[in-house]
Amino acid sequence: WKKLYFAHHWPVTVCKMNANDCHDPPKYWTIHGLWPDRAEDCNRTWHFNVTEIKDLMSDMRHYWPDVLHSSLNRTQFWKHEWDKHGTCAATLEVLNSQKKYFGKALELYQHVDLNSCLLKAGIKPSSSYYKMTAIKEALSSFYGVTPKIQCLPPEEGEEAQTIGQIEFCFTKELQLINCTAPKGESNPMQAHLKLGTEELSVCSDTLPTYYPSEVQ
């Protein structure tokens, strides 16, 4: 693999996509995962062991919660992320254990500080719509790179897309880079996040964009 996607998702939108056990989602962007591109399930024998991240537990629950299942002692979401993505990321020395992988993701989360960046740009959950270009410009001017933004397309009768996920791309040296793939290079990570029947896809620049403050 060549780069890492560091995905944040907006819990209210995640709940909107799949109203199973979602109640009272956090009102801040949380971690979805740290994903090497072009690699999944690299070592099926390296099993997730929650005791390895016990020192990180309070931060994990706060910044990397399982939005869809709110019980605190559930670890399936983290297990899934480790099995699918962490075992691949572990080819890098700075990510080569469960504690390093999850700990580094928590560090990157604090470093990126997406929540305060959006607030500083005046972009906060609202019942009025945003222009996607304005959100992109705010992020690019703040970070100096282009992240990848994913939305829930409008449902029938809706005019607006709903922002759901923002991914930052990092080199293997953990430097921020643009997420846009060079022309002519396909992007296999385009596999859409699918929850229930709804799925996120890259946001349209032309549709009004809804940044919801609560699950409707």
Catalytically active residues are: 32, 81, 85
DSSP sequence for 182-212: PTT---GGG---EETTEE-EEPPSSSEEEE-
DSSP sequence for 48-107: --GGGGGGGHHHHHHHS--TTB--TT--HHHHHHIIIIIHHHTTSGGG-SHHHHHHHHHH
Q: In whole angstroms, what is the distance from residue 59 CA to residue 82 CA? A: 17
Q: In whole angstroms, what is the distance from residue 56 CA to residue 65 CA? A: 12
Residues with Cβ < 8 Å from 99, sequence gap 6 or more?
52, 53, 55, 56
